[in-house]
Structure formats: C-alpha cells, structure tokens
Amino acid sequence: MLLLVGAILAASIVVALGAARTGLPVLVAFLALGMLLGSDGPGGIEFDDAELAREVGIVGLALILYEGGLQTSWRRLRQVAAPAALLSTVGVVVTAVLAGAAARVLFDLTWLEAILLGAVVASTDAAAVFATLRFTHIRRRLARTLEAESGGNDPTAIALTLGLIAWIERPTSYGLDDLSLLVVKQIGLGLLVGVALGALAAWVFGRLPHSIGAFAPVASVAAAALSFGAADVIGGSGFLAIYLVGLAVGSTPSRYRRHLVAFHEGLAFLAQVALFVVLGLLVFPNELPDVALPGLALAVLLMLVVRPAAVWASTALNDFDPRERLLLGWAGLRGAVPIVLATFVLSSDVKEANTIFNAVFFVVVVSAIVQGTTLEWVADRLSLLSPTPSTAEAPLEVGPMSKLDLIDFAVAPDHAIAGASVREVGLPRSAIIAVVARGDDSIPPRGSTVIEPGDRLFVLAPRSRRQDVEDVFARWRRRV
C-alpha cells in the first residue's frame, strides 16, 4: 500500500508539472490520472466505493477551504462581504433552479432529480478558484468577491443537496419546509461555530509561546478538525465553520503564520491529489458516452446562461457595472465540490444517481478547461485587469562590501500584501522593510504603516537569507 501511495504521489508531481507547462488545469490532470489508474484504464484498480470517495472528498475539501481561509484576511474581505454572501446564497438557489430546469429537458429525470442535479453543480469550487486567482491579474475587488463566494457557497449547495436527497428518498414525509429549515440550520450553526472557534483560535495563535512553536502546525490542524467536527455534530456546516476559522487564524498577526501557510499549502496539495485521483477512479469512461451530449449541453448552458443570470440576480443591489457582472458570470468555475456532492448522490437511493454523477463530470471538465484557462483573457478583453506598478529608484544604497542586500518589491493592487500593515508582512527576523517609496515620497515605515497599491518596498536582509526573502515575496504576490 505504501508503495502504491508513493507511486501515485510521484505521478501526481509529474502530472502537475506537465499541467503547469501546458496550461491544463491541474484538476483535470489529476482526474485524468485517476481515470488512467482505474479499472477502465491501464492501472486496472477496481474502485466503486462511493461512500469512501465521499469521505475522502469531505476531508479534502475541508483542508482546501481551511488553507484558502488561512491565506486570506478578513480586512480584505470586508468590502465584498455583502455581494459574496448574496452570491453564496441567492446565487446558489437561482443556479440550482435554472440548471434543474435545463436538466429536466436534457435528461430523463423527474423534477426533484433535475433540481438535485442543479444543486450539485450550483457551487463554485474553492480549490479551482483559489488556484486560478493566485496567478491572475484580475482587479482586486472582483478577485476577492470570487474568493469569498467560493469559500461561502459550499454550505448552501451541500444543504440543498442533502435536503433534496432526503426529499427524493422520503417523498411523503419530507417537503419544501424541511428543506428550507435544513439550509438555515446548516448555515446558521456553521456560522456560529466558525465565529466562536475562530475568535478562540485567533486568541491562542496570538499568544502561542515560542517554546512550543514547533507544534504550531499541530495546533492549526487541531483547530481545523475541531471546528469542522463541532459544527457537523450539532447539525451545522463544517465547511463554513472551517473556512471561518482559517480566515480568523490567517488574519491574526503571529510569528508562526509564515510556517502555517507553508505547511497547509503542502497539505492542501496532498488533499487535492487524493481527492481528484479518488474521484477519477470512481469515473467509468465506458458509461460517459450515454450522457455526453446532454452533459456538454448542460455545461454550456451553465456557463453562458445560468451562471450569468444568477450573478445578475444576486448583484442587482450592488454597484457592480455590466462589465464586472459579465466577468463574475464567466468566473463560476466548477471543480471538486460538484463531484464530491455527486458522490453524496451516488451513495444514496436516488434512482438516477449514475446519470447525475456522469453529467456532473462533463460540467466540471468543461468548466475547468474553458473557464479556468480563459478567465484572465476575458478580464483583459473587458479591461478588468489591474495595472502593473511603476518602478522607482532606490532611495538608499548598500555598499559592495556589505553583507547585506537591498531587495525591492513592487506592490500591485491585487497582491496579497496590499492593505496589510508592516507588522503583518511575515519577513524573516533578520530582514526589515527599510523604506517604502510612495510616489515621490520615501516613508520610513513603522509597524502600523499600511502598505498601499503602487508602493515599492525596499527590504534590507543578509545575503545569506535572500532566498527566504524571495519566498516571502512569492506569498506577497498571490492574488487575493
């Protein structure tokens, strides 16, 4: 078993490298790897355990959401909280209903089964959105809206999916009022647990003593597991709770934040490998041709009609202009979440479970390939990319005999560092921001100095620590 796991992980690294060089979304690459390893591929691994796939999917999504929250800051999401909340609730419901209506026409499904399929594909995917936004130049407000939506719309989609499954399985004892109550309960209790345990986690990580600093990742995993488990036990959304706790920890100034981010990045990558490979194993290519045409039609309708309609309905009261709404509509990336929700259906007593699962596969693959690879291109055509910051001459110099290096960093409007204070930047202890160049001014920074888009930071560090500083710069450049 260890040999098999090691071989799959090694193959996943090769696949990820190939995906990066060809521009293929890593989600699709890992799904393809799982299908090649499956019973219909050369790997020949027999796997049809929907329950196990569901459990792997839940754990993987939880880890991905926590890492996404950890790399974000509540300060950066406050300005988009209202539109993101509406997209995460109203947008999901509208998507489920409209996609369900389309599925009713395209597939041989009952109305409840069709709306169930709509609910399964109603959620944008956190893993796909986080990965895409970190390497694009979309304007910061739009990027943050999409990020917050992808972290917050899973609970609504999951509650709708569970409620509709129960409705189909118990048509005489379950109804619309039970479904509505389930959605409200999941979101309300998940929010309560997430806020409460997030506040506690922020307090703990802000005071974690240096003597047990090596155990900070253990404490972080414990916080994630406790938040998800506590919410789930009382009937709330563990996904919402774990995202909020990750957001609280990521927003807390701490000497361990840099180590936690690096640790959870690796953990989230491992979760993606396990999640997508297992889900790929669960796909049987010989069953796909039967639903290929209606599945592709549903994917196209979801991209061009359903998602844009849901965005316009959700943002009617917000001040997004038509171009921004068009981009938000195009950026509804589907990924792991719909496939995991499809395993919920597959492990239930829904009659057309296989049809729903295979249809979701087409929706996800088409969305990842078409929308995931063209998002920045569309943003460019709509003139919604952030400008690159201008250069500035260094306001100080370091002599050639010095053991110090002066390294500069230009802050773009959508960089993660924009809006942070100097005390939150996470540089190594031996490095400091010596000067902030802002326009024609040179500002000696204090801990409370807020870094603004367009600033140029001049970091003074020992030459032996330059690589550490460059690693920090890579995190600063991530899109938020």
Per-residue model confidence as pLDDT tens digits over 248-292: 988 877 777 778 888 888 898 888 888 888 888 888 888 888 889
* CA distance to 161, 168, 478, per residue, from 345 (Å): 8, 11, 35
How many C-beta atoms lie closer than 10 Å to residue 405's C-beta? 16
Top CATH class, 404-476: alpha beta
Q: Which of 137-141, 183-187, 328-332, 336-340 has the lowest mean pLDDT?
A: 137-141
pLDDT digits (tens, 9 = 90+) for 406-440: 888 888 877 888 888 888 888 888 888 988 988 77
Specify the pairing of strand 441-443 against strand 456-462: unpaired
pLDDT category, 397, cuts 50, 70, 90? low
Q: Is the distance from CB of 335 to CB of 364 less than 8 angstroms?
A: yes
Return the pLDDT at 93: 94
CATH architecture of 2-381: Up-down Bundle (1.20)
CA 275 vs. chain centroid, Å, equals 14
Question: pLDDT tens digits for 52-107?
Answer: 888 888 898 899 889 888 877 776 677 788 898 999 999 999 999 999 999 999 99
What's residue 469's pLDDT? 83
Query: Is residue 101 exposed (0-12), middle (13-18) or buried (19+ Cβ within 10 Å)?
Result: middle
Residues 221-228, mean pLDDT to the nearest whole number? 95
With cut-offs at 50, 70 and 90, classify the pLDDT of residue 118: very high
DSSP code for 287: G
Q: Helices 50-70 and 257-282 sit at what angle, rounded to 10 degrees?
A: 150
Tokens read off for 223:
């916080």
Q: Is the pLDDT of residue 398 over 70?
A: no
Read off the pTM: 0.77
- Please provide residue 391's backbone torsions phi and psi, each rounded to the nearest 5 degrees: -85, 165
Domain-by-domain residue ranges, the chain? 2-381, 404-476
Buried b (16+ CB within 10 A) or exposed e, 350-385: bebbbbbbbbbbbbbbbbbbbbbeebbebbeebebb
Whose tokens are 């036990």? That residue is 233
Mean pLDDT over 158-173 rounds to: 91
d(CA 480, CA 477) in angstroms, rounded, equals 9
Surface-to-core class of residue 265, CB atoms within 10 Å of its CB (0-12 exposed, 13-18 middle, 19+ buried): middle
Distance CA 151, CA 331 (A): 14
Question: Mean pLDDT across the stretch 19-36?
Answer: 80
Give the mean pLDDT of 190-214. 88
